[in-house]
Chains A and B, each alone.
Chain A
Amino acid sequence: DAKTTQPPSMDCAEGRAANLPCNHSTISGNEYVYWYRQIHSQGPQYIIHGLKNNETNEMASLIITEDRKSSTLILPHATLRDTAVYYCIVSLTAGTALIFGKGTTLSVSS
Chain B
Amino acid sequence: EPEVTQTPSHQVTQMGQEVILRCVPISNHLYFYWYRQILGQKVEFLVSFYNNEISEKSEIFDDQFSVERPDGSNFTLKIRSTKLEDSAMYFCASIPILLAGGENEQFFGPGTRLTVL
A residues lining the B interface (CB < 8 Å): 2, 32, 34, 38, 41-46, 49, 51, 87, 93-102
- Bound together, the chains give a CA A99 to CA B104 distance in angstroms of 15
Interface residues of B (CB under 8 A from A): 4, 31, 33, 35, 37, 42-45, 48, 56, 58, 89, 91, 93, 95, 98-102, 104-111, 113
Which of A2, A45, A49, A96 has a CB less than 8 Å from the CB of B108? Answer: A45
Complex contact A44–B104 (CB within 8 A)? no
Can you list 23 A-B pairs, Cβ within 8 angstroms, ordered by A?
Answer: A34-B102, A34-B105, A38-B43, A42-B110, A42-B111, A43-B4, A43-B108, A43-B109, A44-B43, A45-B108, A46-B105, A49-B105, A51-B102, A93-B99, A93-B100, A93-B104, A94-B95, A94-B105, A95-B31, A95-B95, A100-B42, A100-B43, A100-B44
Helix, strand, loop or mixed for chain A's interface?
Answer: loop
The answer to whether A43 and B93 have CB atoms under 8 Å apart is yes
Set B98, B107, B113: member contacting A93, Cβ < 8 A: B98
Q: Which residues of A lie under 8 Å from residue B33 when comparing CB positions? A: 97
A99 touches B45 (CB 8 A): yes
